[in-house]
Structure 1
Amino acid sequence: MTDPILKISNLTKRFGGNTAVSDINLEIQPQETVAIIGPNGAGKTTFYNMVSGRMTPTEGKIELEGQDITGLPPHKISRMGVSRSFQINNIFPEMTVQENVEVAVTAFHGHSRKLFNFASRNKAVQEEARELLAKLQILELADRRAEVISYGDKRLLEIAVVLATRPHLVLLDEPTAGMTPDETKRTTSLIRQLADTGEYTFLITEHDMDVVFGLADRILVMHRGENLFVGTPDEVKAHPEVRRAYLGEEEEEEASA
């Protein structure tokens, strides 16, 4: 087995006298897709925020490709190769779809957003942006302003923006939240295609169990802040404690715990 791209050791977060996340251990291998699930209040979002740098752990260690990133701010973690999408669209609505991706490509290459004119004149940046839009099957929307495209297409655009930073690890936060069934099916299929290329490693939070079982190689099941179980989708489906704690209570799950 290769060295893990992400190694989490004894990760714990307390707020006063309350423990939101307790002693989580997890390793994610390159090119793997791991999903985090759990009922309301399981600690998923707190865990996710610690990995992305939005919260500092009380205890424990987070290593990215052997480097300790515990407690680093989000912008430093991003520069080290971790990119995160959010439940709320994080795009520039007044720009075109292609311009949104060009800005991200330009920033990745070390130029500030103030130098957007550089992106608009640079053929290599334009081509890279269009290749990403093609991957997400929204190239036909390239010249439309982001504010006028559908909600599902905005989420795909956001994923294209995330991929423009060439991340080693992609964090997808509820990628299908708020989507219609057709949009959910399309987005799940596209993420699966991206995973199958072997170019990306995904860590996903998602409440839709059909999406989880359709995407994940392994699943971390959290319950009351603790690691209840880690296993393949089939192992999770068959695990009696998981079924009692979560799978039988799907309707009580919310978008962010």
Structure 2
Amino acid sequence: MSHPLLATKDLTVRFGGHVAVDAISCVFPAGELTAIVGPNGAGKTTYFNLISGQITPTAGSVQVAGEEISRLPVARRAERGIGRAFQLTNLFPNLTVFENVRLVIQSKAKKGFDLFSMADDHVQIREDADQVLQNVNLLAQRDTIVSALPHGDQRKLEVAMLIALDPLIYMFDEPTAGMSADEAPVVLELIEQLKNDQTKCVLLVEHKMDVIRTLADRIIVLHNGALVADGDPSTVMSSSIVQEAYMGKALGHVE
């Protein structure tokens, strides 16, 4: 029996008497980009944190390809195939662009980068890192210190590091936050390329409905920590309950 790439079952977390995520059961198959939307405080980022391991659930489970991972730490979940990009960039600011990507490739390959490791491995790691930078149009900035990069290029680098990790599940938390109108399309194009890989799935927390319309195969809506809608974009966005309570009748922005 085949399993979905990612699944949560009755996933719940309580902080004191507050239920932040309330028994969410959801399946995420390969080859699909799911947008997760809802009002501020709906539980979107908390749900992400439960999946990627920043928070331990009070109840319920997270499974990757049928394997229970709910009690694994973040690093072990990454080994199982979960890759996460944050709303605020999560980079090594004092290293170069190239070194950031190289470290991810080394970590995935479980290889050191010292005088005693094989020279051929060094060459392959460098070539792989340069190829990733080429794919995200950052090769010209390979030797730039990350802290000197514009914000848009830092977001591109974060996507590059996720690509270098080569996870089964890509998780993006407001990937265009703080980006200008000129910068955002580059990152969105990269995400669109990732969703075309039918062996992976993409989860996207996003407020901008134009982004969701462009990228999403499916939308799930959270409210007060609960799953209240799940379906294709046209069905979910045309729901009167969702329009009035969660997206606003104009469907221009999710608050």
Q: What TM-score does the superposition give when structure 1 sets the normalisation length?
A: 0.90
Which one-letter code corresponds to 1:53 in the other structure? Answer: G
Percent of aligned pairs sharing the same letter:
38
* Alignment pair present for 1:136 and 2:136: yes
Deviation at 1:185, TM superposition (A): 2.1
- Is the alpha carbon distance of 1:151 and 1:220 closer, same or farther for their aligned partners in structure 2, counting shifts above 3 Å? same
Name the structure 1 match of 2:55. 55
Deviation at 1:154, TM superposition (A): 0.4
Deviation at 1:167, TM superposition (A): 0.7
**Which runs of 5 or more structure 1 residues have no equivalent in the other structure?**
none
Output the CA distance in 2 between the equivalents of 1:191 and 1:116. 37
Which one-letter code corresponds to 1:98 in the other structure? Answer: F
Contact kept in structure 2, 1:103 and 1:116, CA below 8 Å: no
- Is the alpha carbon distance of 1:124 and 1:243 closer, same or farther for their aligned partners in structure 2, counting shifts above 3 Å? same
* Alignment pair present for 1:145 and 2:145: yes
Deviations 1:111-131 (A, max 9, x none): 35x749969981111111111
Contact kept in structure 2, 1:9 and 1:62, CA below 8 Å: yes
Deviations 1:115-152 (A, max 9, x none): 49969981111111111112212222222221222101
Output the CA distance in 2 between the equivalents of 1:82 and 1:152. 24
Output the CA distance in 1 between the equivalents of 2:2 and 2:31. 11
**Which runs of 5 or more structure 2 residues have no equivalent in the other structure?**
none
Contact kept in structure 2, 1:119 and 1:125, CA below 8 Å: no
Deviation at 1:212, TM superposition (A): 1.7
Name the structure 2 match of 1:160. 160
Matches within 5 A, 1:54-93: 54-93=54-93
Which one-letter code corresponds to 1:130 in the other structure? Answer: D
Number of aligned residue pairs? 252
Which one-letter code corresponds to 1:24 in the other structure? Answer: I
Contact kept in structure 2, 1:188 and 1:214, CA below 8 Å: no
Say which SS state the counterpart of residue 152 (structure 1) adopts.
Answer: helix
Say which SS state the counterpart of residue 10 (structure 2) adopts.
Answer: strand
Say which SS state the counterpart of residue 23 (structure 2) adopts.
Answer: strand
Output the CA distance in 2 between the equivalents of 1:204 and 1:8. 16
Name the structure 2 match of 1:189. 189
Contact kept in structure 1, 2:170 and 2:200, CA below 8 Å: yes
* Alignment pair present for 1:4 and 2:24: no
Output the CA distance in 2 between the equivalents of 1:129 and 1:117. 20
Say which SS state the counterpart of residue 183 (structure 2) adopts.
Answer: helix
Output the CA distance in 2 between the equivalents of 1:37 and 1:251. 10
Contact kept in structure 1, 2:247 and 2:253, CA below 8 Å: no
Deviation at 1:110, TM superposition (A): 0.7
Name the structure 2 match of 1:232. 232
- Is the alpha carbon distance of 1:37 and 1:64 closer, same or farther for their aligned partners in structure 2, counting shifts above 3 Å? same
Name the structure 2 match of 1:212. 212
Name the structure 2 match of 1:42. 42
Output the CA distance in 1 between the equivalents of 2:187 and 2:147. 19
Say which SS state the counterpart of residue 124 (structure 2) adopts.
Answer: helix
Contact kept in structure 2, 1:2 and 1:29, CA below 8 Å: no
Name the structure 1 match of 2:125. 125
Task: Give the stretch that moved more between structures: 142-151 or 243-252.
Answer: 243-252
- Is the alpha carbon distance of 1:119 and 1:14 closer, same or farther for their aligned partners in structure 2, counting shifts above 3 Å? farther
Q: What TM-score does the superposition give when structure 2 sets the normalisation length?
A: 0.91
Output the CA distance in 1 between the equivalents of 2:178 and 2:153. 12
Contact kept in structure 1, 2:51 and 2:62, CA below 8 Å: yes
Output the CA distance in 2 between the equivalents of 1:80 and 1:127. 25
Deviation at 1:161, TM superposition (A): 0.9
Which one-letter code corresponds to 1:100 in the other structure? Answer: N
Output the CA distance in 2 between the equivalents of 1:193 and 1:119. 33
- Is the alpha carbon distance of 1:115 and 1:195 closer, same or farther for their aligned partners in structure 2, counting shifts above 3 Å? farther
Which one-letter code corresponds to 2:191 in the other structure? Answer: I
Which one-letter code corresponds to 2:72 in the other structure? Answer: L
Output the CA distance in 1 between the equivalents of 2:111 and 2:174. 30
Name the structure 1 match of 2:247. 247
Deviation at 1:194, TM superposition (A): 2.3
Say which SS state the counterpart of residue 207 (structure 2) adopts.
Answer: coil
- Is the alpha carbon distance of 1:98 and 1:117 closer, same or farther for their aligned partners in structure 2, counting shifts above 3 Å? farther
